[in-house]
Structure 1
Amino acid sequence: MSKCITVGVTGGIAAYKAAEIVNDLVKKGFEVHVIMTKNATEFVQPLTFQTLSHNKVIVDMFDKIDKWDTEHISLAKKTDLFVIVPATANFIGKLANGIADDMLQTTLMATKAKIMIAPAMNTGMWENPILQDNIKKLQRYGYTILDTDSGRLACGDMGSGKLLDWRIIVEKVVEEIDTLHN
């Protein structure tokens, strides 16, 4: 039985890097689904992820699988691991405070699956004590928070907050899936 990974894509410039992650996970034989926030669709079109994952991409809160089963509940139940990449400061703040106002947040609130978060944002946001408190809160709830990288950011600044290389994220996902099923 194929292990199911749902990739949540939020509205940061690093959203395009999630396409490489989805593509590689599918090549490795995982069943991959994608949920995008509406802001993420400003950076990458859902068709990109649909083509790579071979599954319908969910954006709208009211999309349904069929008339009896809402999509967020179905994915919440079948997913072995959720990977949020990139996770913006906005997304992390909402998640840490239980705000479920889009399909991704709602699905995460409904799941019992493991959740891995790959943050990406400007250095000032990354170092903000409110964001750091939200990350600590999520870690206390059992979420896996990946480190960020340092380097040149999309805004031109140099510093921390850069998304980890997509290959490292894939390695972490595979390691996590292996620990869930051993």
Structure 2
Amino acid sequence: MKKTILIGVSGGIACYKAIEVVNQLKKEGYNVEVIMTRAAQEFIAPLTFKTMSHNPVITDMFDPVREWDTKHIDLAKAADVFVIVPATANIIGKIANGIADDMLTTTVMAARSPVLIFPAMNTFMYENTILQENIEKLKKHGYHVYGTAKGELACGDIGTGKLLDWQEIVKEIKTFL
């Protein structure tokens, strides 16, 4: 039976790297499901992830076509591993503080599989003490929060906060399968 990897994509410029993660995992024979936040959809169209994963992309809690369902629970139950890539300061803060106000955060709250979080943001945001406290809180609760790379950021600065390379992310995911 194929292992299921649930990918949560939050809205940062680094979300384009999640496309390569999804593509590689699918090529290796995994079932890949994708949830995108509204902010992520400002950077990349859901169709891109649908094409790469060969699955519909979940973008909203309330789908007018479906009368009622518990898709977030179904996804959480099906996932062998749940990966958030990229994880913005916003999504990290929400998860660390139990805020479940969209499809991604409600599904994380229901997850029983390992949750891997790959942050990506500007150096000043990444080094912010509140963000670092939220990361420590997540680690304390059993979430696997990875560091970032150092390099040129979208704003042109050089520093920490850059998303790890997609190959490294795929390697880390596979250690949980």
Q: TM-score range by the shorter chain?
A: over 0.9
**What is the Cα deviation at residue 63 of structure 1?**
3.4
In the alignment, the residues of structure 1 paired with residue 34 and residue 61 of structure 2 have an alpha-carbon distance, to the nearest angstrom, of 13
Aligned residues: 177
In the alignment, the residues of structure 2 paired with residue 109 and residue 69 of structure 1 have an alpha-carbon distance, to the nearest angstrom, of 17
* Alignment partner, residue 121 of structure 1: 121
Residue correspondence of structure 1 range 76-115 to structure 2 within 5 A? 76-115=76-115
**What is the Cα deviation at residue 64 of structure 1?**
8.6
**What is the Cα deviation at residue 52 of structure 1?**
0.3
DSSP-derived class of the 1:39 partner: helix
In the alignment, the residues of structure 1 paired with residue 111 and residue 162 of structure 2 have an alpha-carbon distance, to the nearest angstrom, of 28
Q: Which amino acid aligns with 1:52?
A: M
* Alignment partner, residue 34 of structure 2: 34
* Alignment partner, residue 5 of structure 1: 5
DSSP-derived class of the 2:105 partner: helix
* Alignment partner, residue 171 of structure 2: 171
* Alignment partner, residue 160 of structure 2: 160
In the alignment, the residues of structure 1 paired with residue 64 and residue 96 of structure 2 have an alpha-carbon distance, to the nearest angstrom, of 26
**What is the Cα deviation at residue 77 of structure 1?**
0.6
* Alignment partner, residue 15 of structure 2: 15
In the alignment, the residues of structure 1 paired with residue 170 and residue 84 of structure 2 have an alpha-carbon distance, to the nearest angstrom, of 12
In the alignment, the residues of structure 2 paired with residue 163 and residue 31 of structure 1 have an alpha-carbon distance, to the nearest angstrom, of 23
In the alignment, the residues of structure 2 paired with residue 46 and residue 68 of structure 1 have an alpha-carbon distance, to the nearest angstrom, of 22
TM-score normalised to structure 2 length = 0.97
**What is the Cα deviation at residue 110 of structure 1?**
1.1
Moved over 3 A (4+): 63-69
**What is the Cα deviation at residue 67 of structure 1?**
5.2
Task: Give the aligned CA root-mean-square deviation in angstroms.
Answer: 1.3
In the alignment, the residues of structure 1 paired with residue 20 and residue 135 of structure 2 have an alpha-carbon distance, to the nearest angstrom, of 25
In the alignment, the residues of structure 2 paired with residue 82 and residue 51 of structure 1 have an alpha-carbon distance, to the nearest angstrom, of 20
DSSP-derived class of the 1:69 partner: coil
The answer to whether the Cα contact below 8 Å between 1:64 and 1:71 also exists between their aligned partners in 2 is no
* Alignment partner, residue 180 of structure 1: none
Structure 1: stretches of 5+ with no match in the other structure: 178-182
Deviations 1:11-62 (A, max 9, x none): 0000111000000000111100000000000000000000000000001112
**What is the Cα deviation at residue 70 of structure 1?**
1.8
* Alignment partner, residue 139 of structure 1: 139
Q: Which amino acid aligns with 1:23?
A: N
- My pick for the range that moved more, 131-140 or 55-64, is 55-64
The answer to whether the Cα contact below 8 Å between 1:63 and 1:70 also exists between their aligned partners in 2 is no
Q: Which amino acid aligns with 2:110?
A: A
Deviations 1:66-103 (A, max 9, x none): 65632111101110101000000011001000001110
